[in-house]
Amino acid sequence: MLKVFDDSVRDEIMKSLSRVDMELSTSLEGKDIKVKLGTSRKELVAAGLKKVKTAMEDFKKNVRDVRHKHLEVVKKLSKIVDQETITQLEADINTKIKKAEDTAKKTTDAKEKDLNQQ
């Protein structure tokens, strides 16, 4: 907490604090300036976990979109290719999608574990 005795310099102090290359959050509380230094470890871990979860959700959405597009192409091919080939193509697509999802899941689980241990 910074006690400002001269109100005419309070705005200048706030501007100066906002230009500092440190993680500071400042707020005015009456005539005083409240300064919070940096972010806590707990906040950093929570932010990291949130980013990991968001990335995984985005990945799942993108995978669903890719799978859908590929299966649409296979569906169009069904007019000119025999059913056995179509079945094999669908199985290949699903296998590769499953493998990518498993890899992403392992990676995000490892990252979450790493963040929780810090």
Q: Which two tokens stand for residue 106?
A: 């392992």
pLDDT exceeding 90 applies to what percent of the chain?
Answer: 53
Residue 2 has pLDDT above 80, yes or no: no
Q: In whole angstroms, give the CA distance from residue 105 to residue 90.
A: 22
Mean pLDDT, range 29-44, rounded to an integer: 73
- Quick one: pLDDT at residue 9? 74
Q: Shortest CA distance to 4 belongs to which of 34, 36, 31, 37?
A: 31
- Quick one: pLDDT at residue 105? 94
The whole-angstrom distance between residue 60's C-alpha and the CA centroid of its chain comes to 13
pLDDT in tens, 20-33: 766 677 777 777 77
> Domain residue spans in the chain?
2-37, 41-117
User: What's the pLDDT band for 98 if we cut at 50, 70, 90?
Assistant: very high
